[in-house]
Chain A
């Protein structure tokens, strides 16, 4: 059964249909949130929150956008809120840089561990980008969405999404590739 039918059933209260939607989109939503926030626990919490909020709001969903687009919009909005909260609480400047340096895993002899360290390093570098850029780079590169879809999810223009992506990927190339090589 496609998403549209499941949404129709869920709108009239069919929790099983909604459960199928959750199962279908849960992993991808988590992965996107994990890449945007760089934090497993937070991404799990936000994924749950996004699905509960989507359920509550389903009565206002008229299907002009795909369910997944609508869900992503909720999820990314929650991520923005969480990032803003974190920024208010987080140390700044050199304190944060020092923490990141301490947290950087040392390169090990095992190839698999090197790969793990690279993934974690990249996640931290993405998490240092401005909100819009991190969301765009994840939605574009990981979720492979078009700029039109990204603009719809992030409530921005296609041009702005394009420019944000180009800036983000250029910064990551500068930071991530050089640092990964030196570690």
Chain B
């Protein structure tokens, strides 16, 4: 015998009343009350039959839930005498719970006779708790009622579905997460368009964002297999980054939020790089030191709390590390982007062949710039070294120059990051940004962290480079923490400080 369940209609009233009278001898509802229950707009009644021919009604149950109310009530449930003990009651109950979830209830209440242990056990097995007792509730039998409650996971704050838009530099990223789970991460990069200029051209990046928006959104929705109407919130990068590029994302996100009626969260790009770790680890363990290295940033952060307490320990005072890679690659005619090209040459060279300077590491610099970086002097030193060789017509090894240059950059990055961990007694280091793709950076960080008992976190590369998933993930954290959405009037802020995790 298979259970056939469907929504009840008024036509089922006669059969239901038969079972009602048989089941509740002394306190059955009058037919008119039952008719009202079946037809009321705020109730959902289900009837259960033994076959799809619907010959024998074996049970029914009803749920009441007012629209907008977080509470649902199980009004009644009955299974015919001969069908008990076969798990039908449980199936019917599960259908009612499912209905309550669909109607976005957060808790379900029911009353059960204090002497009906069989029913109580069923409710307890499904997660209901006994929260109260109503004395002498059932009359005329004069039996107490147990009030039981089932707490439902609140779908929209427990695991919010959030879409994130990133456009701070040359990647148009749209990511979708459900809570801490990655559903889609689509990146459209304009990198190739910048290649012949040897670096990101802001106007070219901004133009590319505008063109990439719609196709990137479509791809992300398809990848996540969701519809925009299902979203709980939208998040967007509003800084730091290139102003014109940021504005494309901000304008886009605001219109999408208004069109879909979803709350909008304006979030910090750099903190997004830190927050992305929730997608792989389920949380960001704090406090942690974070080293973010890309073509636009070289920042060392102390993250005491992802949403409330992020501190900038230091940053580059001139070029970003990625920029230095690009410039040296161009100097050596290796192509763009510089990082992978330098990496490729460096693998064949000797990192100790040439001792290039380590910026801001001399004692006098360390006083003022303990956690700051400078790559401009290094860049000039490499250029001079090459010029001298060329002027003298002396042959030199490009792999050696690449390896020695790379070692100088990576050495400073890792040394300062590890110092930050040790000085602050924080045994955790998180890496982020496109330069994390650099093999030697990962290798040296691993080595030095291991030697100093520091736990090293390196997210997958698709989450290290600029992406929308990290923005969605940070947005989801804000939603889960119950934060209010941003006011629609925020702007793009190219120098947004890391202390502003969300622009309200």
Do A and B share a complex?
Answer: no
Partner-A contacts on B (CB < 8 A): none
Residues of A within 8 A of B (CB): none
